[in-house]
Amino acid sequence: MKLKETGLTKEELKGLVNKYMIETYERFDMVAEKAKDMYIYDENGTPYLDFYAGIAVNNAGNCNEKVVSAVIDQVQDIIHTFNYPYTIPQALLAKKVCETIGMDKIFYQNSGTEANEAMIKMARKYGVEKYGPDKYNIVTAKMSFHGRTFGAMSATGQPDNACQVGFGDMTPGFSYAKYNDLDDFKAAVNDNTIAVMIEPVQGEGGVNPATKEFMLGLRKLCDEKGLLLLIDEVQTGWCRTGAIMSYMNYGIKPDIVSMAKGLGGGMPIGAICATEEVSKAFTMGSHGTTFGGHPVSCAAALAEVTELIDRDLAGNAKKVGDYFASKLEALPHVKEVRHQGLLVGVEFDDSISGIDVKHGCFDRKLLITAIGDHIIRMIPPLIVSKEECDKAFEIIKETVEVLE
């Protein structure tokens, strides 16, 4: 739908949002009307170079043609049904995902936070049923982010984060250890621990990749203690980090892995995959969903995953991500550049505000995001070229120089 088709002005549309919507977002002053490949277009047809990708969602590009075609075809057949009948997109996607990432079983959800909630529930139920009523504690990392439902936000190791403040006591059963500190994780494990839950790259925590030693150590720790290794790939999954799943960069395999964002090509979908043994914790009635495994979302996801693999967009993410991160080192006031594939963060010194850089880039028609006080994050579609990275670099550089 185009703004001119509504008969509203831009200010009138903004007025409707302000009047009727509960706002928890800092809005850009644009009406997003169209998107294609690496660009989003506003109400005037002005192109914005997209280094946001819907927050690591549109991995195969905005409005990828094969994803759009799959959605149209499925909508014409059946839009929604409950999860009692078999549906073709669910079954085909289940096979594609499990065989591609080397897992046994999949359970569909609607989002990343729901996927993490399901992962937490499965691990806790597995522990209680196998070892006894107190075996449900999960160790997660400080500065982690796992979502905004109660279980997922309780797993988040940021007690001062706005997602936790003001909601009362968090869900019990979580303890926290320092990221990339194996000894601290070992110390946090106790007799009631059933699992360790980790992001291979902390996205909201500042774009902090895990070291190989740390991830290998966690897998070994879990094996030795009889614990489950839960890996949150909501933001890192599906080729974002230079491998199909980020855990593949470390040569390990989780017991349960969560995913969302890049799986659906723009349609809402989440999922967990688990080993055969651990998946048995979910039995009739122990977990469920109305919209999880939605036929249209599964059809879109099947097209998206096929595009990502057939075009080797993991390879492009690694090659272009390394190039872009190296180039960003030359920005003024850079304290550190951190990345894995095309999940890229730049931390500036105290003189440069990440929020100001974000807004300055928006004014220059580049879409990025900011984390905390001094960090910007770039998560472009994985079809991005070196030339588009050069363009983004020049815009960021100009923005920082003006802020000086």
* Per-residue model confidence (pLDDT) at position 17: 97
How many other CB atoms are there within 10 angstroms of residue 141's CB atom? 31
Tell me phi and psi for residue 167, to 5 degrees. Answer: -105, 10
**Amino acid code (one letter) for 50:** D
The whole-number pLDDT of residue 393 equals 98
Residue whose structure tokens are 């998206």: 304
Q: What is the CA radius of gyration of the chain?
A: 21
* 144 Cβ neighbours under 8 A, 6+ residues apart: 155, 156, 157, 158, 176, 179, 197, 198, 199, 202, 205, 232
- Pairing label, strands 256-259, 228-232: parallel
Asked if 112 contacts 258 with a C-beta cutoff of 8 angstroms, the reply is yes
List phi, psi (to 5°) of 267: -90, 145
Report the number of secondary-structure helices (H) and strands (E) in the chain.
14, 17
- What 3-state class would DSSP assign to 301? helix
- Reference 231, options 119, 142, 118; nearest CA is 119
Show the DSSP H helices in 337-385 as ranges. Answer: 354-363
* Residue 240: predicted pLDDT: 98
Per residue in 64-101, pLDDT (tens digit) is 999 999 999 999 999 999 999 999 999 999 999 999 99
Give per-10-residue mean pLDDT for the chain (404 aa).
96 97 94 98 98 97 98 98 96 98 98 98 98 98 96 93 90 97 98 98 96 98 98 98 98 98 98 98 96 98 98 98 98 98 98 97 98 96 98 98 95
Partnered with residue 209 across adjacent β-strands are 201
- 59: closest CA among 295, 253, 306, 274? 306
Q: What is residue 160's predicted lDDT score, i.e. its pLDDT?
A: 85
Q: What is the pLDDT of residue 357?
A: 98
pTM of the complete model: 0.97
Q: How many CB atoms lie within 10 A of CB 183?
A: 10
